[in-house]
Amino acid sequence: MNDLNPRQREAVMAITGPVLVLAGAGSGKTSVITRKIAYLIQECGLPAHKILAVTFTNKAAREMKERAGKLVQGPEARGLTVSTFHTLGLNMLKRHPDQFGLKKNFSIFDAEDSRTLLGELLHKENASDRVDLVRNLISDFKNNLLTPEAAVSRANTEGELFAATVYGTYERHLRAYNAVDFDDLIGRPTLALQDNPTLREHWQNRVHYLLVDEYQDTNTAQYLLVKHLVGARACFTAVGDDDQSIYAWRGARPENMAELAVDFPQLKVIKLEQNYRSTSRILKCANTVIANNPHVFEKQLWSQHGMGDQIRVLQCPNEDAEAEKVATDILNHKLMNRTEFRDYAVLYRGNFQARVLETKLREFQIPYKISGGQSFFGRAEIKDVMAYLRLVINPDDDNAFLRVINTPKREIGPATLEKLGSYAQQRGCAMFAACDEMGLSLHVGERAQHRLQEFSSWLQDTARAIVDGDDPLAAIKQMLSDIQYMDYLLDQSATPQAAERRMESVNSFLASIQRLWERIDDEEDRDIEAVIRKLVLLDLLEQQAEADDSDKVQLMTLHAAKGLEFPHVTLIGLEEDLLPHRNSIDAGTVEEERRLMYVGITRARKTLTLTYAARRKSGGEVLPTTPSRFLDELPAEELSWEGRDSGRSSEQKQALGRAHLSSLRDLLN
């Protein structure tokens, strides 16, 4: 406890009622949460299995559990639960599936599965181009705990009414498949706790103390889940920062922090304002900008790291010049200060801003990594092949069955699949097994049954060739040839080149299987299932190694940068319509864009550079821009402007340039 500051110690030791910890950026909130877990177990005698800590990402949950594990070891740590909200919901569904309207071995639809199902449903409406819009609206309905009927009655626009109507059909299909989607992992447990007193009492007895990380990012369903879990005992600690709530587009409600004071009048509010990350000048800029937003809870970040360098603001003629300036600045700063490339991060509002920047970094041979890109196993084509292989290995995998049955199209429509799913549930078997049952003919038409049996027969033959044959890789390639997968990619891709790139990913995947297969010396130990599982594990480990060890400049969106920190940060594109974004300006939600700016500023530890282009390409035209309003909100005395007319003559500028180049040569020599 001695290494905690007074406010942190207060937060750790406040255990008798509801507590809200307002944790500013870089204020050590994870330390507070993990120390509090240790304090509850070691000093207060609360069994670890009665403590639950929840956060939003698997990475944050792993870090929290690892740090708590170093503080509490051995038998006294047994049963401690640290998880994401969605993992918590999934565990609740698995323990009591019948109480959530599910049967055992239910399937979970990921985003791609949901999109595929909605695409099938909307195809009948000739509205396949609306899949993503409908999917997002259905997600909003579920996050707000609206049933399809309630969504229809509350629809305010034609688009909402259309989505609400599809929502009902979508839910019927999920029920027929004994499946849930990602939003159901929160929504179903919340509604069940709300409506089932026995189940609610069971979980309130299970959770005697609850800790919630990143509370500002909770949506309506998550807020109510927390409320039902803590009950009248109200022993919980919510940790968050309303100034870092940047996920309204996915349902986050920063006002949930204010709601706590209404629902729990005895709420104790503790502010963590000492920042352990940034210089005082960086924090002054962050405080000044965010002060323009209304606040229920006021706080001021401060630091003992000294004032630090001035904040540089660079005006560039255009986006090409902006990218070149960023690249040369990183290179020069690295040479002058003997730093590593990993010490630098370039942040931006939209992914498209990275394109020009990548070109310039390559020109200057500066290694870089774009964070937040899609993982290899997250690509649709790899998920397709993996789903076939999962079904080959485990015919009871309904989720894999639903992905492959119409990939490519086999003229097996959603109505047929709904009937197949219902029949399989009645028979207590998997959907794949149900395809061959005689009784299915009473539920689906003759043509549909023939197509299902044809698929089943083909896959069984393919499975035998893959699992029992001498050359599983050849059998897998034959499987892809049988289904004419390349033709399917050509049909699904925007261009033939895009289809070829996707097929190259598949070939790379097959080559990985081949390499692993060849590394197994003993033929008797060769197992295609083990090979595939090992490939997934290797992919995860390689990603982790790259994230930990690579010396590269980090490129990422402001959203992706939340929770991270870097010694030197450059924030590009400080222009109206970009940051703040035009959509937010039109919708009157500039406050969230200002929070995004605040997040960007507070990622920097030592230096911060802000750039904007005087002209930028938009819709094929090069148009003049307006500097972001957020630049005007920064404290002028802390800024050093470059690129505007400095009053120096051209001779003076040339002399300064020659002197700088000379210094660089001396340094390199």
Active centre residues (catalytic): 29-30, 213-214, 244, 603
For residue 55, count CB atoms less than 10 angstroms from its CB and return exposed for 0-12, middle for 13-18, buried for 19 or more: buried
From residue 77, alpha-carbon distances to 40, 73, 204, 229, 646 in Å are 11, 6, 20, 21, 62
641 burial (CB, 10 Å; 0-12 / 13-18 / 19+) is: middle
- Could you tell me which of 244, 292, 299 has the C-alpha nearest to residue 561? 244
Closest CA to 222 of 410, 120, 396, 84: 84
* Strand pairing class (179-181; 81-84): unpaired
Cα atoms found within 13 Å of the Cα of residue 583, Cβ hemisphere only: 5
Rounded (5°) CA angle 484-490-494: 160
The strand pairing partners of 20, in sequence order, are 238, 269
How many CB atoms lie under 10 A from the CB of residue 648?
11
**Is cis: bond before 580, omega within 30 of 0?**
yes
> How far is the C-alpha of 423 from the C-alpha of 425, rounded, in Å?
5
Convert 556-569 to b/e letters by CB count within 10 Å (16 or more is b). bbbbbbbbebbebb
Residues 6+ apart with CB under 8 A from 335: 664, 667, 668
Q: DSSP assignment, residue 254?
A: T
Task: Name residue 23's beta-bridge partners.
Answer: 272
